[in-house]
Structure 1
């Protein structure tokens, strides 16, 4: 998925370089730069989300271990709470994954639209 996005970004960059008009080239280069930044920020967002979930789980487990009480009750309580936290973390990660997938699809559509527009502009310039 990221490889396809990377290839499309490179194609967009090539199309921008082939543009005769400076404004068309600038628009395509700006769009290419936006896609590049987005592509680079996706893994960072995943890492941050994972680290935040792990930190929250670790902190909750530490708090539970430090509380006084019957060890068997504490163990059952920790298991239930850990399952609940894991479920919430997985739900959050699925939501982030869906959002990122939608963003990639939108980016692919933008690249297709820009490539089509670029070809149209190029054909129009050739006719003149």
Structure 2
């Protein structure tokens, strides 16, 4: 028997804005309605199911392993749009990317306050 990650629910102040923000930045297909949710499908079949809520929530961390070309496109969009970003999770290296483990990485927040990370090489390297 195998175990694979299938989906997670992400709380959002505005599910349309948050789902479209992530899908567009990462070059993913347009988010699709799924019941109460707006689903962003990743390339491996996992979906991020955004749900709108008025309840206060703490921003969560979501990390995406991306190809070099997706990273190039992402960082260009981040810079062109003036989206605040950091090379580190504590936000001490503002406006930079990192080169950890022989790859590249960046941190940024989505419109709902979630902490997003994109990296081209997993922690510890290949």
TM-score (norm 1): 0.20
Radius of gyration: which is bigger?
1
TM-score (norm 2): 0.21
Highest RCO, 1 vs 2 (Cα 8 Å, sep ≥ 6) = 1
